[in-house]
Amino acid sequence: MSAAVQQQRKSFNLFSPFWFWIGFLGIVILIGLYATFLIMTKGLVVTNLTDLTPWGLWIILDLSCIGLGAGAFSISAITYILGQDQFKRLARVAVFIGILGYSGALMALFFDIGRPDRFWHGWVFWNVHSMLWEVTMCITLYFTVLTFEVFPMVVELPFLKRFTWLQNFAHRVHDYTPVLAIVGLGLSLLHQSSLGGTYGVVVGRAALFRATMPILFIVSAVAGGISFTVFITLVVQWIGKRTLVSNNALFAAGQISGAILLLYLYMRFWDTTAGNYGYVPGRSEAFTTLSSGTYAVTFWTWEIFLGGLLAAILLIRARFRQNILLLLIGSGLAAIGLVANRWHTTLLAFTEPLSENPPMTDPLVGSYTPAWTEWAITFMVISILAMIFSLGIKFLPAFRDMSEQTEAAH
Amino acid sequence: MSEHTKDEHAPQGEQIPQSEPAPSGGPTQQGPTRELDRREFVRLIAGLGISAAAAGWVWSAFLAHNDPAEEVNGHGEGPYWVMVIDLEACIGCERCVYACQATNDTDSEHRWNILLTDEETFGQPVFITRPCMHCEHAPCVEVCPVAATYHREDGLVMMDYQRCIGCRYCMVACPYGVRVFNWDDREDETDNEMVPTWGTPEINRRPRGVAEKCTFCSQRIDLAYETGLRPGYDRAVTPACVNICPTEARRFGDLNDPESPVSRAMKGRQAVVLRENLGTHPRVYYLLPEAEEGEEA
């Protein structure tokens, strides 16, 4: 107990690396706030988005945040539905990452839509036929689930201890964790896939119009999401010099995500091979752009070899995975592979001419490089998430060092 | 695992028989193979029923868009508004582009009606002007999360600028690239260089942050319903791009009326729609040039 108190006191030294890190994030956030001011006063004209490339960096950020947040539902499901209690502590980290990831996605969307003042229209005016309607509903509901899952961790904070009604409510909520895991699994199985479906149903763009999109999205999200949770846990343990999760749980989680990553690569292989078997107008051009054109270097390097195959090998082979450094590299690469995939999928959609049918030959093709405002807001969102995460992982009692905390009553 | 989880584990236990024998302690016993008591059973059935009803409602609403036999406004009841563009007559003068920009007060960088040139297919330049196709199975209408773009009763695809949230999914979904976005604030400016030479604005500028597109000059078609004038015959209720065309390459009217300008223009000509394979059923028909390819006159 006295050790914990000392730990708390020590952390309030404002000249520690921790607070420099928080200060650095604060500066990035300030730059982003200036970009926010520009966006809100001048509109999306200050971005590099155009009529022909209407979606860009913020949509990639949104998709990446949700994909990397998939560890929350996956690890919760493994822990509470399959009853694998050794993942309980990892699930807690995953849920914390998850709620931050979904907050980031909501922030990205808030900036991306042309009318942020009408963000609530999605809940009031329904078009149940729209994939985005489904995504809106599911993300809202799942965000609520995540809030309930994180709530008991937050009320453990010392200064909230005296509100007994809050404590009692948190205990009741905590008892429902397995229920929340089931609801979260259901909602995630819907929206992680329908985010892929958002692209998959676009009949006019052959590069996207594939029934495999929803499946590829969810499978890659589970692999990337679990990997990202493992990666962040390892980073926190390394920098903070403490133990959040037992090594065995991390090894096992790495193995699961490696296996799922391999499954994803297999599915991706056949999707690409069968989908480009003959000449498909639009799709073949897009695949050429991806595999030997503009995106060839990043595609082969980050999405396929490093973020796909190497990550899968490092995670699957026990000798590699049980080396903490290789586990760190493997899980980090898998997460990067997921982001690269979302990046390529989004931008590839707009490299394909819309006019490949007989009469028109003028290519209506966009080109896109994100503007500084887009980068500034992207880094602001990431910094906000990193700041809350850093503070939370440092001060929330749920993330105390394993040696200090005995698993009581959970 | 605490006692509050029993409701969720009970149905699972029922579906997946487990090898362990059930504890003999009676209905209040907890465990994976415990029997359901009556109240739990009723609750389970009610829950399933409500879920099934909700899912059924969503599913039926979902399918309402997908019936291939059901056209939004089929040939038969009411007017069937179409635009016919004769590729042989079009000289690429862009007057329809200017008239549209003036009448609908669009930005010159984000026009509703544009000119595309095909230099190759027919050996000589063919000019293709492209308005909104007003598809019967419109991808934009299907994907809009807030139903801000919709089919109105006569089948035209409209925009509700007050509802649009500016997510731009419609622009991703449109196979023809007809949709443009209000990236900038234009409401208070007077910078339309096409006014007054090519026309006068008839509608308000759209607010910043919403998507927009060609409406077939719906304000004029609305006027037709009020006055009884006939689009295609009477200039006051015919789209601006059609009125201004010096070669009568563009015509507008009711395809259900055999005497309408569109019906007469299509007689004996080979008409195509853009990207027919997508099944969008556009309301804009292009008449192919006759001379080079030897199609029947």
Q: What is the pLDDT of residues B252-261, one digit of tens each?
A: 999 999 999 9
Higher pLDDT, B47 or B121: B47
Per-run averaged pLDDT (10 residues), chain A, 410 residues:
53 78 95 95 93 93 96 94 92 94 94 94 91 92 94 89 90 89 92 94 90 95 96 93 91 95 96 89 85 89 94 94 94 96 89 58 71 96 96 89 57
Q: Is A179 on the interface with B (CB under 8 A)?
A: yes
Higher pLDDT, B184 or A285: B184
Closest B-chain CA to A365: B177
**Percent of chain A whose pLDDT exceeds 70:** 91
Q: CATH number of A18-399: 3.40.50.150, 1.20.1630.10, 1.10.3720.10, 3.30.565.10?
A: 1.20.1630.10
Task: Give yes or no for a contact between A334 and A310, defined as CB atoms under 8 angstroms apart.
Answer: no
Residue B190 has pLDDT above 90, yes or no: no
Closest B-chain CA to A348: B172
Range B27-32 average pLDDT: 49
- pLDDT score for B5: 42
Q: How far apart are the C-alpha atoms of B127 and B267, rounded to whole Å? A: 21
**Percent of chain B whose pLDDT exceeds 70:** 80
Task: Give yes or no for a contact between A66 and A99, defined as CB atoms under 8 angstroms apart.
Answer: no
Residues of B in contact with A115 (CB under 8 A): 164-166, 207, 209-210
Nearest 5°: phi and psi at A376?
-60, -45
- pLDDT score for A107: 94
Closest A-chain CA to B58: A128
pLDDT tens digits, B35-78: 778 888 888 899 999 989 988 887 777 776 655 545 555 555 78
pLDDT tens digits, B236-249: 999 999 999 999 99
- pLDDT score for A4: 54
- pLDDT score for A22: 94
- Per-residue b/e over A86-117, b at no fewer than 16 CB within 10 Å? ebbbbbbbbbbbbbbbbbbbbbbbebbbbbee
User: Radius of gyration of chain B from Cα atoms?
Assistant: 28
Nearest to A129 among B65, B163, B278 (CB): B65
- A190 burial via Cβ count (<10 Å: 0-12, 13-18, 19+): buried
Task: Give yes or no for a contact between A302 and A338, defined as CB atoms under 8 angstroms apart.
Answer: no
- pLDDT score for B119: 78
Residues of A in contact with B61 (CB under 8 A): 128-129
> How many residue contacts between A and B have a Cβ separation below 8 Å?
178
Label residue A93 left, alpha or beta by phi (over 0 means left) and psi (-120 to 50 means alpha). Answer: alpha
- Of residues B15, B13, B2, B8, the one with CA closest to residue B43: B8
Residue B126's pLDDT band, with cuts at 50, 70 and 90, is confident
Q: How far apart are the C-alpha atoms of A332 and A226, rounded to whole Å? A: 10
H/E element, B253: strand B250-254
- pLDDT score for B41: 86
Residue B12's pLDDT band, with cuts at 50, 70 and 90, is very low
Range B26-34 average pLDDT: 52
Residues of B in contact with A119 (CB under 8 A): 165
- pLDDT score for B27: 46
Query: Omega before B68 cis (within 30°)?
Result: no
Residue B150 has pLDDT above 80, yes or no: yes
Interface of A with B in 94-113 (CB under 8 A): 109, 112-113
Residues of B in contact with A113 (CB under 8 A): 165-167, 209
Interface of A with B in 257-286 (CB under 8 A): none
What ipTM was reported for this prediction?
0.90
- pLDDT score for B295: 45
Label residue B156 left, alpha or beta by phi (over 0 means left) and psi (-120 to 50 means alpha). Answer: beta
Task: Give yes or no for a contact between A55 and B168, defined as CB atoms under 8 angstroms apart.
Answer: yes
- How far, CA to CA in Å, does A155 sit from each of A57, A95, B5? 35, 15, 22
Q: What residues pair up with B83 in beta bridges, in sequence order?
A: B252, B284
The alpha carbon of residue B119 is apart from the nearest alpha carbon of chain A, in Å, by 8
Residue B33 has pLDDT above 80, yes or no: no
Q: How far apart are the C-alpha atoms of A66 and A98, rounded to whole Å? A: 8
